[in-house]
Structures are given as structure tokens and as C-alpha cells.
Amino acid sequence: MQYNLIKKTEFDKVRNHNGNWAARMKLFADMCRYNTLVAVKKAGSGHLGSSLSAMDIVTYLYLNELNVLEVGLDSPDRDIYFSSKGHDVPGLYSLFYALGIIPEEKLLMLRRLYGLDGHPEVRQPGIEASTGSLGMGISKAKGMAWAKTYNKNKGNVYVLTGDGEFQEGQIWESLQATAHQKVNNVTAIMDHNKYQTDMLVADVNNIEDVVKKVSAFGWYVVRINGHDFNELRKTFDALKKVTDKPKMIIADTIKGRGVSFMEKPLTETFQGKTLYKWHSGAPDDESYVKGLNELTESINKLADEIGLGKINIPENKAEGKVVTKLDKEFVTDAYGEALVELAKTNKKFVVLDGDLSADCKLRNFE
């Protein structure tokens, strides 16, 4: 199996080109998507769906809004960005490689000892906050933003949240406290891709109408297309004029964006509810090559559109066989099977899964 990344020099060519701005942004993001797919496949695990849905947002932020590349990662006056949801970090690492924050060998050691963690960890360059239990991000952002004001430092704080994360109680506590304390140098962005793990947010615990709800807590809220770079730029420009409230962007996105078959849920359902396949795990060989080919086609088309010429895209070959399941044994498989066997003779079992039914292999028990 070959695992080759699009080199940083190719990203530099895109950044330094003067072609159509929005097309350049999309090209840069799709190149990061390509490298994300390579890194997750090599790791054998990771979260592709969220990484791909959030990619346009983080690409826009780092290339257009944040000052960290100019003032440095350690400057007290830097803008701060971090992910509260955390599952999108393979995509963020790919962006960090493209910007020169982490080296190539690190990205190819995703989820490996001495490599990059599968969730955000502050020991990694550019990571401002570790992701632990969900729901803590806005609280952390509020603290960082308050500290900037208290210390008379410049810079704003941006935090990305998930939509399923808005089922956490701490989110709503932090929304209220941030507005009440007038911590107005915070912008929260929801990656609203509609799926949590493998099920629709609306089916698990519906959060809508989220714009009205967050607005009621004293925030300035807008809802946009999170994949439209012109709309992203227009929105962030407008938010600079809002200085009397914390800001939130509800960014409607597509989980698995950029790879057609990852954008679609499975046709199968569970108890009448649609399942999404690509939340976590590495793709099989056939899907891996198919996804890379789709992204290669998009990259070449965009590069031609802006007059850049072809991007040097490396060769990545599968082993010539279709792998439908990684050659590993999972403790959770045995756990789920054991519960089913126990339940056959004991009807008193009640299993609480904390929205981890798929990961804990509890579907059969359900």
C-alpha cells in the first residue's frame, strides 16, 4: 500500500496564485481533503465525515481570518481557534501540514506512538485546547476570550462545535454565561452536518430551531452555507461590526463533503432510521482509491479553472484487493455479542450507551 501526500510546495503554489479567490479556497480545501483521506487510511482509523464537513470552514479561517501565521503560535495577541467536537482533527492536521505547522512525517503518523493524536491534544503544535467530554468548547472559549480582555491582549477566539454537541447541558450554561458576562470577543461556529456518529441529530434529540434558541440566550446568530466561501467571507466581515454580543454561525454542511459516496447516508436503516457509514474508521481499499480519484478530478478541474495548471498529485495504490473489514479484533464486538446472549435468558438488562451505540456495538442488542 502506498501513502503519499500532496506536498506542501503544491499548497504554496495555490496560496501565492492570483486566480479566482473562491476557487483557490476550494482547491486548497480539496487538497487538504485528499491528504486527510491518505492519513486516515494509513492510520487504519479516524473520523473522515467530520473532517471533510468542517474543512471549508477551517480553510477559510486560517487563510483569511486568523493572524497566527503572522504573529506566531505563541504570541499573546494571536487569534485562537480550536475544535470542541474534536473528531474533525485529521482534517485540521492536514491543514496544519499544508501551512507548515506540522511536518509531513507527523501527518503520516496519525494515531501512532510519537505521532499525532486521534483527538486534539495541546502537546501538538497549533492545538489550543484538548478535546475531552463534549460540550466544553464554548466554556473554554469564554475563558480564553475573557483572559485576553483582562490581560489587554489582542485577538479573537473562534471555537468549532458539533450539532450533536448541542444536546449537552454545559453548552447552554456556557451560552448564557458568555452573554451575561459580555464576553463579546468569541465567535462559535457550528459544523451543522446533521449527523451525530451514525444517526441523524433530528432522530436522536432534535436541536432545532437552534437559531432562535441561541438568540434567546443573548447571542448574535446567523445561519449560512458552510461550504460557500463567498458567503463565509461576507459573514465574517459582517460579524466584525457586531461588538456588543458574542457571535454564533450555524454553518450548514454536508458530512463527508467532497467525496460523493461519503456525502450520502447508507440506504439501510435501523429501526426505521437512516444510518451514516463514514463517521469513523478507515475506508476499504476500493473506497479509498475511489475517493482519491474523485478528489483528484476536482483538484485538477479547479487548478485549470484558475489558470494554475496541474497540481502534482502523488500516486497512491491499493493492494489490488477489496478489504471490507480491517484485520483486527475489537473487544466491543465481543461485548455486544455477550449482551445479546445474556439478554436471551435475562429480560432485566437495560443498556445506557451515551450516544455510543454504534461504537460499543450495541445495535444487535437494540
95-147 tens-digit pLDDT:
999 999 999 999 999 999 999 999 999 999 999 999 978 899 999 999 999 99
286-303 tens-digit pLDDT:
989 999 999 999 999 999
Per-residue CA distances from 238 to 11, 197, 242, 274, 360 (Å): 28, 33, 7, 37, 43
What is the pLDDT averaged over residues 17-28?
94
| Three-state secondary structure call for residue 187 | strand
Name the average pLDDT for the chain: 91
Assess whether pLDDT exceeds 60 at residue 170. yes
Confirm if 198 and 279 have CB atoms less than 8 A apart.
Answer: yes
Q: Quick check: pTM over 0.85?
A: yes
Show the domains of the chain with their CATH numbers. 8-285 (3.40.50.970), 329-366 (no CATH)
Bridge partner list, 249: 189, 222
d(C-alpha 345, C-alpha 180), whole Å: 54
Enter the DSSP assignment of 252: E
Q: How far apart are the first and last CA of the chain?
A: 37
d(C-alpha 32, C-alpha 223), whole Å: 25
Assess whether pLDDT exceeds 70 at residue 82. yes
pLDDT classification of 197: cutoffs 50, 70, 90: confident
Nearest CA among 37, 14, 5 for reference residue 258: 37
Amino acid at 303: A
pLDDT of residue 243: 94
d(C-alpha 249, C-alpha 283), whole Å: 31
Q: What is the DSSP string of 289-342?
A: HHHHHHHHHHHHHHHHHTT-----PPP----SS--SS-S---HHHHHHHHHHHH
pLDDT of residue 295: 96
Assess whether pLDDT exceeds 90 at residue 79. yes
pLDDT classification of 156: cutoffs 50, 70, 90: very high
CB atoms within 10 A of CB 36: 30
Length of the chain: 366
pLDDT of residue 278: 84
Assess whether pLDDT exceeds 90 at residue 223. yes
Q: Which of 226-235, 261-270, 294-303 comes out lowest in average pLDDT?
A: 261-270
d(C-alpha 19, C-alpha 323), whole Å: 40
57-72 tens-digit pLDDT:
999 999 999 999 999 9
The larger pLDDT score, comparing residue 59 to residue 331, is at 59
| Three-state secondary structure call for residue 287 | helix
Burial of 11 (0-12, 13-18, 19+ CB in 10 A): buried
Nearest CA among 102, 96, 100 for reference residue 83: 96
pLDDT of residue 267: 65
pLDDT of residue 324: 44
